[in-house]
């Protein structure tokens, strides 16, 4: 598996807010965690519902991959995100722990923090 290509395609689906394409990256019994759901969402259908709600309540967000590290069973990836057009509503840097099984995401944990305009990236 080309994890850099997988990561870039996956982050593009996040940018596009394409729920159907995005959940296609995840296994039927996936576990997904981010700051809004720290205890996790379990299963592709629950993730789909979560993403529909999330995407309808957030401005445009552009995800740009930075680095990807292969780990046993998956990868870790760091990315930047501009919130709003051109980052007018803020910028964040994030990190994903992604465990893969049968070419699908079995487990995904997301960690993010805001970047101030004066902070170094």
- Whether the per-residue pLDDT at 11 is higher than 50: the answer is yes
- Whether the per-residue pLDDT at 121 is higher than 50: the answer is no
Higher-pLDDT residue of 56 and 118 is 56
- Whether the per-residue pLDDT at 65 is higher than 50: the answer is yes
Mean pLDDT value of segment 48-68: 96
Write 106-110 long-range contacts (CB < 8 A, 24+). Answer: 106/27, 106/29, 106/30, 106/31, 106/74, 107/30, 107/31, 107/32, 107/74, 108/26, 108/30, 108/31, 108/32, 108/33, 109/33, 109/34, 110/32, 110/33, 110/34, 110/35
pTM of the model: 0.91
pLDDT band, very low/low/confident/very high, at 18 (cuts 50, 70, 90): very high
pLDDT at position 120 is 47
């Amino acid at each position: 598996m080309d994890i850099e290509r997988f990561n870039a395609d996956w982050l593009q689906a996040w940018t596009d807010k394409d729920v159907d394409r995005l959940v296609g990256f995840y296994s039927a019994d996936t576990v997904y965690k981010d700051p809004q759901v720290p205890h996790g969402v379990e299963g592709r259908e629950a993730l789909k519902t979560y993403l529909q709600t999330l995407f309808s309540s957030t401005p445009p967000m552009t995800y740009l991959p930075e680095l990807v590290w292969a780990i046993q069973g998956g990868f870790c990836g760091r990315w930047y995100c501009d919130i709003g057009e051109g980052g007018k509503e803020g910028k964040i840097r994030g990190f994903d722990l992604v465990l893969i099984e049968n070419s699908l995401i079995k487990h995904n944990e997301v960690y993010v923090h805001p970047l101030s305009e004066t902070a170094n990236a």
